[in-house]
Structure 1
Amino acid sequence: MQTQRARQTGRPQRNSYARPRARAGLLATPHMDFGGIEHVESIMFAEGITLAPMSWQAKSLSPLTPMGSITVMPTARAQDIGAGRLDGVVIPGSGCADDPESIGAFDEVINSAISQQMPVMAFGEGVSEMLRALGYEPPRELPPGLLLHEGFRILETAEEVRDAAMVFHGGSPNPSAH
């Protein structure tokens, strides 16, 4: 009877299996850029990844930061990386690391994630910032996106982002994709 009712109403059954969600820290600012790759946030959500806006510097996301017509409150902190409450970090381009304090905080987040062997996915200018934080000289022409997990992987399309997203669940990206 309960199964019939669930089918009729379209509601899922209580005991049905849902894939566990991964939680990734999003270094959010009011002007996020995903390197021209469309719908990155929607792709991550569809692949079972919750993007938790991170409070990592005084100017990034203090409580009640307006982003367009909505207000975003941080739900993750840099300390969550070492505490095991995040499964990775996502860095959209935003030009947010513009003063020494911000640059130091950004570098700390990236290096903490790397030391915990977490995947880090960067987009737009976030690619340059991530490479700089790791001691690399960014190339003149940046790829739209870059995944750092057991090496580097260039991300140029939404499909490549979708394939690479499985690393946040502990998997390996599809090697044939790129």
Structure 2
Amino acid sequence: MYAQRNTSTSPRPRQGFSRPAAVRLRMALIMRKGMDFGPLGDMETALRFDGVSLAPISTGDASLINGGVTVLATATGDDITSGRVKGVVLPGGEADEAGVAQAKALLKLAKAQGLPVLAFADGVALAAEAFGVAAEAPGAVFQGDKAALINERAELSAVVATIS
């Protein structure tokens, strides 16, 4: 019946629609004031398409407002130590003293638990300092005493595929 006439109520295929992958792991997202993923672009969406669920962790009241939207923190440092998250994501952001101190404390927890840390923009330098390794790139993965640089989205997907 719909094929006989072209009306505004006839079903239409959803062109260009792609669904994110099913969630396969949960990672903590360290919220920072003025959060930025640098030249790699919107890594939150990229991680979601790779099957990562992000659980925000607050580094202070100022970090909970992102782009005019208030974000509810759904994870804490206890989630890192208990193993409820499989890694930590550290974006770049403003270098306010209290927020940087809180981010460093969370990075130390992740390092002590052996969790991978995905850092972006100026978060790379902060994570490199916390892990005691040298790294300079738009993104990097830190785990143990090693760092792997991320220069493009395909490299991020390859790294996320190895996290379990």
Q: Report the TM-score, using the length of structure 2 for normalisation.
A: 0.77
Give the distance between the partners of 1:132 and 1:47, measured in 2 at CA. 27
- Which of the numbers 164, 170, 175 marks the counterpart of 2:159? 164
**Structure 1 residue ranges (4+ consecutive) displaced by more than 4 angstroms after TM superposition:** none
Structure 1 residue 21: deviation in Å?
2.1
Give the distance between the partners of 1:104 and 1:135, measured in 2 at CA. 16
Given the alignment of the two structures, is residue 46 of structure 1 paired with residue 49 of structure 2, yes or no?
A: yes
Compared with structure 1, are the counterparts of its residues 135 and 59 closer, same or farther at alpha carbon in structure 2 (3 Å cutoff)? farther
Return 5+ residue gaps in structure 1 as ranges.
1-17, 170-178
Cα RMSD over matched residues? Answer: 2.3
**How many residue pairs were aligned?**
144
1:1-178 equivalent positions in 2, closer than 5 A: 21-61=24-64, 65=65, 67-96=66-95, 98-99=96-97, 101-136=98-133, 142-149=136-143, 151-169=146-164
Structure 1 residue 111: deviation in Å?
1.1
Q: Report the TM-score, using the length of structure 1 for normalisation.
A: 0.71
Q: Secondary structure at the match of 2:109?
A: helix
Deviation per residue, 1:104-141 (Å, 9 max, x gap): 322211111011111101000000111122345x66xx
Q: Work out whether residues 36 and 93 of structure 2, in 8 Å CA contact, stay in contact via their aligned partners in 1.
A: yes
Q: Which has the larger radius of gyration?
A: 2
Letter in 1 for 2:123: G
Structure 1 residue 41: deviation in Å?
1.4
Q: Work out whether residues 95 and 125 of structure 1, in 8 Å CA contact, stay in contact via their aligned partners in 2.
A: no
Give the distance between the partners of 1:78 and 1:168, measured in 2 at CA. 19
Structure 1 residue 85: deviation in Å?
1.2
- Aligned identity (percent) is 31
